[in-house]
Chains A and B, each alone.
Chain A
């Protein structure tokens, strides 16, 4: 039996968005539980950190460029630069390093 690609895509869209919408609409009150509050405080930073490393070193053609982008990005963010300038610094570092014949 052959399935329709469009129906696959429709099911994917529906399922993925239902997961996204359920908690945000059902949980309308502030959660009072102390543990959950603390847990949710740490969630964004941990999630983003896990997604950043080592992925940043695997996204580039050479790991060296990725590590350089990581180091420069951390320094720039530590110095207080915003989202966009830090991103640009990382991209430029990779562009330059991948251009060099190492």
Chain B
């Protein structure tokens, strides 16, 4: 697939992500307004950060007039999962990929963009990731900005249905491989169950873990268990084809 084709494929796959982003960012914007942010700050912050939990954490610190150091720590902790995702993506490049493209793909990483990039067949075409980001990032930024402008005037319900676009897309990524590889299917079912328990068991609820933290802990736990119980033969053979 050439670059242009990969870019447009990414752009198309980025549309449902962008719609979901818009809805989530809109509620982030409503909250950012309460933290005294102005629309342009929400737009710039969101365009270049693209991290819901991280932004949420930092914006509340604006209100508290927290120290600059604590903002750095907050960004580190809430986004630690990106270290893991970036590590996984480092294995997805063809050896010829230039450094600048690796850096740019790294900057594009969000949970969702990572998800579709890692599921790309064979080596990752960086243009695919750029295409998806080209539509998803502006929608995330605009959602935040409109959220700040509209404040609590607009009913959130009007945009809430859009947020499931995101999850629909996730299902389209995880279900077909689950059908093909039973080990993946079992891992997915375990993920659903444990994730549900983390949000609903009183004991775990009392720990008050953020959804980002739950994601990273369960990913480490379940993927390790799956790797021990059902090791994969060699990844590299598949990549060559």
Contacts and interface: CB of A to CB of B under 8 A. Distances in A.
Interface of A: 1-3, 5-9, 11-13, 15-17, 19-28, 30-31, 34-56, 58-61, 65-66, 69-70, 73-74, 76-78, 80-91, 93-95, 98
Given A50-B215, A91-B161, A45 B174 contact: yes
Interface string B113-125: 0111011000000
B161 A60 contact: yes
Contacts of A8: 58, 61-62, 68, 71
Contacts of A46: 187-188, 191, 218-219, 222-223, 226
A83 B161 contact: no
A69 B168 contact: yes
A20 B106 contact: yes
Contacts of B54: 12, 16
Given A11-B72, A12-B55, A30-B236, A70 B171 contact: yes
B48 A52 contact: no
Contact of B75 (A3, A15, A80): A15
B153 interface: no
Contacts of B50: 16
Given A21-B103, A52-B171, A98 B161 contact: yes
Interface residues of B, number: 104
A35 B199 contact: no
Interface string B138-180: 0000000000000000000100111111111111111111110
Contacts of A94: 160-161, 164
Name the 7 nearest CB pairs between A and B, nearest first: A90-B168, A49-B191, A77-B175, A87-B16, A38-B227, A15-B75, A87-B168
Given A15-B76, A35-B227, A55-B167, A98 B157 contact: yes
A11 B168 contact: no
A26 B86 CA distance: 10
Given A52-B170, A55-B167, A91 B227 contact: no
Contacts of B231: 34-35, 38
Which of A41, A59, A81, A84: most chain B CB closer than 10 A? A41
A66 B224 CA distance: 30
B172 A83 contact: yes
A53 B19 CA distance: 19
A51 to B, nearest CB: 6
Contacts of A84: 12-13, 15-16, 169
A28 B90 contact: yes
B86 A24 contact: yes
A31 B91 CA distance: 7
B48 A59 contact: no
Given A45-B177, A50-B214, A13 B102 contact: no
B168 A91 contact: yes
